[in-house]
């Protein structure tokens, strides 16, 4: 198995020099004032704003001088971002620690064109032929998903006792949860009126109770989504749901009417008891956090219908084309990544705050947390040696305007500086109370406040009198320093295309950052350790088992205490 993509260059002296040049600019820009840069650099707006796939990206409000942007673009050239991107699109094993491609772009490419004899055109090389085969496979699964979703939506798919499906419970965690939930919420305005979708991810029984509360098993469809089919949380919840059906008289023979599986491990799903016809497969070259575009998107298609799901894919594809074709200096994901990299250097210790001004996008932050932190929370480069820079800043945030009343105080006046991504959706029309305009005005106002701040200027006393000391003291408390960076991503409206483009924008930003940091954005070894320890620790909680002699004293004490708490009367 090949473990390294062919084209991209290794980190060498030229790369180090380009990196050091960026660092030099970051040190020199320590006192840069964004307002002054906006005033003094005539081409700033043209360079730092870009329209791509229906989105408008405005990166003007960063402490990034034009000369530093030049240095960042030079680094992107030296790091061979274009070559790495092309290698990813060509299906090379860019996930080099697992020797796998990361081919999510193939999931949203248009269906292959066919000649009259059934042959596909343009398959000149064996790589082309392989990509064609992948495209055919993707299209085949999409067509199966469409037939299934149409049947559920039009009511011809019936539960075991003849009831139409009214509720969908999607079971999955991480990438098998966050993308589908985000998309279902974002597109809820065009969801099927009969189908309600709930999500179950946590292995906590309370989460299960909430997910099934009030549901009638006879009209419920469970979608079990797990790439590996081994993830503990999903496996246990799927078992609990199988029992929930059995308790309602829906046994193994009828399960196919109520439970479908989405996985890259079809054998395990069959062993669980699902029928082959109830399994929607995808391949291991789809990374978990990039899997919304695969069969994992089934609940989205159930909710909004095949046509809108195709539009979601088309929007992501439009961003894929932009990423592939736009020069680096006009490339939205590349610019977003370069600005992010810049902030890690110019604002050491900073984090990334993401604030969607659209309630429909309230889960964007959670989705981005996994995308960016699971992808790039790595410390070792391709050469197996720790990289000499910080990677993956913490991502946090929440829906505007709610977070204005919680975390924004610290953003305006706190001692550390954290760049904010304002993701702003223009509401279709205003309501009588003007809430849409209020939402927009708040987004723009917060951005202006972060940028310009408010000076500590106590009102002057009467002529000849010293200023009132008390007022001066209060003014110091009221002052906002400003000069706090932010990006703005504007969506003229929230529709499936623009949603697809937005998510693909962030995916490509994340991959670009991984390439700049020289880490593998597509593996997640760090998560595995906790998983395997949990399976070792779980048997220790069984009071019938003697604790092993070699158990670490701290862990032993905790386990004993937990055993006692469980045994105590409640
Ligand atoms: O958190 C680790 C992880 O492997 C993620 O990458 C993935 O999205 C999630 O677990 C769920 O995995 P699976 O789809 O295999 O259940």
User: pLDDT band for position 10 (50/70/90)?
Assistant: confident
451, pLDDT greater than 90 = yes
Is 435 in contact with 400 (CB distance < 8 Å)?
Answer: no
Q: Residue 429: what pLDDT? A: 79
Return the minimum-mean-pLDDT range out of 126-130, 233-237, 345-349, 369-373. Answer: 126-130
Ligand 1 centre distance from Cα of residue 231 (Å) = 7
Cα-trace Rg, the chain = 26
Condensed to tens digits (0 to 9), the pLDDT of residues 28-79 reads 998 899 999 999 999 999 999 999 999 999 999 999 999 999 999 999 999 9
Ligand 1 centre distance from Cα of residue 177 (Å) = 9
Ligand 1 centre distance from Cα of residue 179 (Å) = 12
Condensed to tens digits (0 to 9), the pLDDT of residues 196-253 reads 999 999 999 999 999 999 999 999 999 999 999 999 999 999 999 999 999 999 999 9
Q: Whose CA is nearest to atom 3 of ligand 1?
A: 174
Q: Residue 430: what pLDDT? A: 78
Q: Residue 131: what pLDDT? A: 85
Residues in the chain: 570
User: pLDDT band for position 1 (50/70/90)?
Assistant: very low
Q: Residue 118: what pLDDT? A: 47
Q: Residue 471: what pLDDT? A: 84
Q: Residue 460: what pLDDT? A: 61
Closest ligand 1 atom to Cα of 225 = 14
Return the minimum-mean-pLDDT range out of 6-20, 131-145, 299-313, 381-395. Answer: 6-20
Please choose from 231, 281, 375 the residue to mutate so as to test ligand 1's pocket, defined by most ligand atoms within 8 A of CB: 231
CA 447 to CA 461: how far, in whole Å?
A: 32
Alpha helices in 395-468 (DSSP H): 408-413, 435-452
Residues in contact with ligand 1 (CB, 6 Å cut-off): 173-176, 226-228, 231, 234, 288-289, 374, 524, 527
Condensed to tens digits (0 to 9), the pLDDT of residues 405-450 reads 999 999 999 999 999 999 999 988 778 899 999 999 999 999 999 9
Strand 55-58, strand 49-52: pairing: antiparallel
CA neighbor of 496 nearest in space, from 23, 48, 60, 108: 108
464, pLDDT greater than 50 = yes
Is 411 in contact with 354 (CB distance < 8 Å)?
Answer: no
Closest ligand 1 atom to Cα of 296 = 14
Condensed to tens digits (0 to 9), the pLDDT of residues 496-516 reads 999 999 999 999 999 999 999
Closest ligand 1 atom to Cα of 228 = 15
What average pLDDT does this structure show over 346-355?
96
Q: What are the residues whose beta carbons fall under 8 Å from the beta carbon of 180, sequence distance 6 or more?
A: 170, 172, 199, 225, 292, 296, 297, 298, 299, 300
* Catalytic sites, residue numbers: 374, 405, 531
Q: Whose CA is nearest to atom 16 of ligand 1?
A: 226
What average pLDDT does this structure show over 85-106?
95
User: pLDDT band for position 466 (50/70/90)?
Assistant: low
Q: Whose CA is nearest to atom 4 of ligand 1?
A: 288
User: pLDDT band for position 8 (50/70/90)?
Assistant: low
Closest ligand 1 atom to Cα of 291 = 8
Q: What percent of the chain has pLDDT over 70?
A: 95
Closest ligand 1 atom to Cα of 263 = 14
Q: Residue 2: what pLDDT? A: 46
Ligand 1 centre distance from Cα of residue 226 (Å) = 7
459, pLDDT greater than 70 = no
Ligand 1 centre distance from Cα of residue 227 (Å) = 7
CA 504 to CA 308: how far, in whole Å?
A: 16
Q: Say what the pTM is.
A: 0.94
Give the E-state strand segments of 103-258 in sequence order: 167-171, 196-200, 220-225
What average pLDDT does this structure show over 530-549?
92
Condensed to tens digits (0 to 9), the pLDDT of residues 136-154 reads 999 999 999 999 999 999 9
Ligand 1 centre distance from Cα of residue 229 (Å) = 9
Task: Supply the mean pLDDT for the chain.
Answer: 93
Q: What are the residues whose beta carbons fall under 8 Å from the beta carbon of 480, sequence distance 6 or more?
A: 412, 413, 449, 453, 454
Please choose from 170, 179, 280, 288 the residue to mutate so as to test ligand 1's pocket, defined by most ligand atoms within 8 A of CB: 288
How far does Cα 504 stand from its chain's mean position?
Answer: 9
Please choose from 171, 176, 285, 521 the residue to mutate so as to test ligand 1's pocket, defined by most ligand atoms within 8 A of CB: 176
115, pLDDT greater than 70 = no
């Amino acid at each position: 198995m090949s473990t390294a993509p062919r084209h991209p260059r290794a980190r060498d002296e030229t790369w180090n020099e380009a990196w050091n040049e960026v660092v030099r600019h970051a040190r020199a820009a320590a006192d840069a004032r964004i307002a002054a840069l906006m005033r003094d650099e005539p081409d700033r707006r043209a360079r730092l704003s870009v329209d791509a796939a229906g989105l408008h990206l405005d990166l003007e409000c960063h402490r990034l001088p034009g000369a530093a942007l030049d240095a960042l673009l030079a680094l992107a050239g030296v790091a061979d971002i274009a070559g790495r991107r092309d290698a990813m699109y060509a299906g090379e094993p860019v996930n080099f620690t697992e020797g796998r491609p990361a081919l999510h772009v193939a999931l949203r490419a248009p269906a292959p064109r066919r000649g009259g004899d059934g042959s596909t055109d343009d398959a000149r090389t064996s790589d082309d032929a392989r990509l064609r085969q992948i495209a055919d496979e993707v299209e085949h699964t999409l067509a199966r998903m469409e037939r299934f979703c149409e049947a559920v939506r039009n009511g011809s798919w019936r539960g075991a006792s003849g009831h139409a499906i009214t509720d969908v419970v999607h079971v999955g965690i991480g990438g098998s949860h966050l993308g589908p939930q985000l998309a279902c919420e974002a597109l809820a305005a065009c969801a099927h009126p009969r189908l309600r979708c709930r999500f179950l991810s946590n292995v906590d029984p309370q989460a299960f109770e909430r997910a099934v509360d009030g549901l009638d098993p006879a009209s419920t469809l469970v979608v079990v989504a797990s790439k590996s089919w081994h993830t503990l949380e999903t496996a246990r919840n799927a078992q609990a749901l199988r029992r929930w059906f059995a308790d309602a008289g829906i046994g193994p023979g009828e399960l196919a009417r109520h439970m479908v599986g989405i996985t890259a491990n079809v054998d395990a799903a069959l062993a669980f008891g699902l029928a082959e016809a109830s399994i929607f497969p995808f391949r291991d070259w789809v990374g978990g956090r990039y899997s919304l575009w695969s069969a994992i998107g089934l609940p989205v298609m159930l909710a909004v219908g095949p046509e809108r799901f195709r539009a979601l894919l088309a929007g992501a594809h439009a961003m894929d084309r932009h990423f592939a074709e736009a020069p680096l200096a006009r490339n939205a994901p590349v610019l977003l990544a370069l600005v992010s990299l810049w902030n890690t250097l110019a604002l050491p210790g900073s984090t990334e705050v993401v604030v969607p001004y659209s309630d429909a996008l309230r889960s964007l932050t959670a989705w981005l947390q996994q995308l960016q932190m699971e992808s790039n929370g790595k410390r070792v480069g391709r050469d197996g040696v720790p990289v000499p820079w910080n990677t993956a800043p913490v991502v946090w945030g929440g829906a505007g305007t709610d977070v204005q009343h919680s975390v924004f105080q610290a953003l305006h006046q706190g001692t550390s500086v954290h760049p904010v991504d304002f993701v702003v959706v223009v509401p279709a029309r205003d309501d009588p109370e003007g809430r849409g305009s209020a939402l927009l005005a708040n987004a723009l106002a917060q951005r202006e406040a972060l940028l310009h701040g408010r000076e500590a200027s106590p009102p002057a006393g009467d002529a000849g009198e010293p200023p009132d000391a008390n007022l001066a003291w209060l003014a110091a408390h009221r002052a906002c320093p400003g000069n706090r960076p932010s990006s703005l991503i504007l969506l003229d409206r929230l529709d499936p295309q623009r949603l697809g483009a937005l998510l693909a924008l962030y995916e490509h930003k994340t991959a670009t950052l991984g390439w700049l940091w020289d880490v593998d954005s597509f593996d997640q070894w760090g998560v595995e350790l906790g998983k395997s320890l949990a399976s070792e620790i779980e048997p220790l909680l069984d009071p019938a088992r003697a604790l092993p002699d070699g158990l670490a004293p701290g862990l032993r004490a905790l386990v004993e205490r937990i055993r006692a708490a469980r045994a105590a009367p409640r």
